[in-house]
Amino acid sequence: MKFIHLKVAQCPTCGCSTVVREEIDVSLIYRTGREPQIRHHCNGQRWESRKFLCGCVVEWCPNFERPEMKELCGKHPAVTKYYEDYEAIEKKERKLREESAKLRDVRSEAIAAENVKFHNQKYNVRTKSH
């Protein structure tokens, strides 16, 4: 497959040059014989995309006539910051879950003790009145 417009050969963020997938957008509606027809923008350019091993997807945008990142690289600062924030939030959630489990245990023990006390009082009242 030969790209006409997309010349990006490596990830702009990390420099990974291992290509996992290359695509040229085709129209399945208008077919010439058995082969699908390649879609073209009104300016004559076509949609081309390339995915790298790091997860970055770069595609040619015919509207603006430039390559754009469709999906960010796994080493992109925005992605790594998201994962760092996510891990911090997950750690807080884990801590809150543990604290709430402890509180539930203490509460259930207190309720059990109250139930025992109530039943003992009820039993003692019955035995005294009979």
Q: Where are the domains of the chain?
A: 19-71, 76-116
pLDDT (tens digit per residue) in 22-55: 887 776 666 556 666 777 777 778 888 899 988 8
How far apart CA 2 and CA 114 sit, in angstroms, is: 78
By C-alpha distance, which of 52, 45, 53 is closest to 6? 45
Position with higher pLDDT, 6 vs 123: 6
Q: In what order do the strands lie in the sheet with 66-71?
A: 19-24, 48-52, 57-61, 66-71
Q: Please give the span between the terminal C-alpha atoms of the chain, in angstroms, as a whole number.
A: 97
pLDDT at 129: 47
> Model-level pTM?
0.51
The CA-CA-CA angle for residues 62, 63, 67, to 5°, reads 55
Backbone angles phi, psi at 101, to 5 degrees: -65, -40
Sign of the C-alpha dihedral computed for residues 42, 45, 46 and 51 taken in this order: negative
pLDDT (tens digit per residue) in 10-23: 888 888 888 888 88
